[in-house]
């Protein structure tokens, strides 16, 4: 094993993914490179969001800077969930003030035929992501892993069908309930595409990947089991062996047993569940990630410290805990509070 590979293998973050002992609890922050950081805004102010995502030198810069200024134990690739949909035939636009919009959403069974699985040739149109990975890995400290990521099949399917954000997922659920064949065809194409996409991130230099099922919390356990679990499970099973996978679903703790069944070395917990209860639910043979309420960062530092300590106490020093927020850091957050949280976790999470 080379010196670099040894340093990465024995990093706090990867040791925690494998549920091995660590000197202190590792921490990284979802949406760690974001608008709350002045260093990010200095770059973002020059280009649009999607231009930043598609310019590897700039995407690498904000990825590296966030890890360095916060002092976190892993970098998370700066990218977005949705550009994978463009080579699949979806017309994606990031509208000013509205967020992502898909101009040709899938609304009926016949529309699924327009969605094309990503093959090796189509994967090349996403090379800006893989080049960002290569640039980040080249310049990251040798003991800091890089986390790649993608949206889970259901979350991507919801964007494809709704055409953007949604409150009740009416169009998504209508297609899901009314035409199981069309739903399966769409989910199978997303699943195969995600396996190729995430494996390409790993090949380019990511040491772990996180699957974001940001919208699956709208589902009942029965619906998740029938319409979602087989596809998430297939994505995780299709990834390169030996690379830790974080399976993160937000918004519905009732789905945690099914998250475990879908797979993942680490199960992400949001703030709606007590970490001790959540870990017992998914089983102590899995790691867990989380789960401080992001709004805690608005509190004064003594209160933030108490809330961080409560999360660490719930983990009870058990190997396999990665500290994180229960979701992404908010854009108007004071960056000094985020930096303070990282120091608090490293201090209070020390093992004897």
Annotated catalytic residues are: 31, 35, 44, 80, 159
Gyration radius from the chain CA atoms? 19
CA–CA dist 88, 110 (Å, integer): 15
Q: How many CB atoms lie within 10 A of CB 303?
A: 11
Per the CB < 8 A criterion, the answer to whether 81 and 88 are in contact is: no
User: How many Cβ atoms from other residues are within 10 Å of residue 274's Cβ?
Assistant: 16
Apex 323 CA angle, 303 and 339, nearest 5: 55
Hey, is 259 helix, strand or coil? helix
b/e string for 204-238 if b means 16 or more Cβ within 10 A? bbbbbbbbbbbbbbbbeeebbbebbbebbbbbbee
Sheet architecture: strand order including 75-76: 75-76, 146-151, 208-213, 245-249, 266-268, 287-289, 321-322
Helix, strand, coil share (%) of the chain residues, nearest 5: 55, 10, 35
Instruction: State the Cα angle at 35 between 34 and 39, rounded to 5°.
Output: 80
Are 56 and 127 within 8 A, CB to CB? Answer: no
Q: What gap in Å lies between CA 193 and CA 184, rounded to an integer?
A: 14
């Amino acid at each position: 094993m080379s010196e670099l590979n040894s340093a990465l293998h024995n990093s706090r973050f990867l040791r925690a993914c494998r549920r091995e002992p660590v000197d202190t609890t590792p921490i990284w922050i979802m949406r760690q490179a974001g608008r709350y950081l002045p260093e990010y805004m200095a770059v973002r102010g020059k280009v649009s969001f999607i231009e930043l995502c598609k310019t590897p030198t700039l995407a690498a810069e904000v990825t590296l800077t966030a890890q360095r200024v916060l002092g976190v134990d892993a970098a998370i690739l700066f990218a977005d969930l949705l550009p994978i949909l463009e080579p699949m035939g979806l017309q994606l636009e990031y509208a000013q003030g509205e967020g992502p919009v898909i101009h040709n959403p899938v609304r009926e069974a016949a529309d699924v035929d327009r969605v094309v699985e990503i093959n090796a040739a189509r994967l090349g149109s996403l090379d800006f992501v893989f080049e960002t990975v290569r640039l980040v890995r080249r310049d990251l400290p040798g003991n800091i892993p890089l986390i790649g990521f993608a949206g889970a099949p259901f979350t991507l399917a919801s964007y494809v069908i709704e055409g953007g954000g949604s409150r009740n997922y009416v169009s998504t659920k209508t297609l899901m309930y009314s035409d199981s064949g069309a739903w399966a065809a769409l989910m199978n194409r997303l699943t195969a595409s995600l396996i190729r996409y995430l494996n390409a991130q790993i090949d380019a230099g990511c040491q772990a990947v996180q699957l974001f099922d940001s919208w699956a919390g709208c589902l009942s356990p029965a619906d998740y089991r029938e319409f979602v679990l087989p596809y998430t499970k297939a994505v995780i099973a299709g990834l390169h062996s030996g690379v830790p996978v974080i399976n993160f679903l937000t918004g519905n703790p009732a789905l945690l047993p099914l998250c475990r069944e879908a797979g993942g070395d680490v199960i992400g917990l949001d703030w709606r569940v007590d970490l001790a209860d959540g870990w017992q639910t998914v089983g102590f043979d899995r790691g867990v990630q989380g789960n401080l309420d992001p709004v805690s960062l608005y509190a004064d530092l003594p209160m933030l410290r108490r809330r961080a300590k409560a999360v660490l106490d719930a983990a009870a020093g058990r190997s396999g805990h990665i500290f994180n927020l229960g979701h992404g850091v908010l854009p108007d957050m004071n960056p000094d509070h985020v930096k303070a949280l990282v120091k608090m976790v490293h201090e209070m999470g020390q093992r004897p």
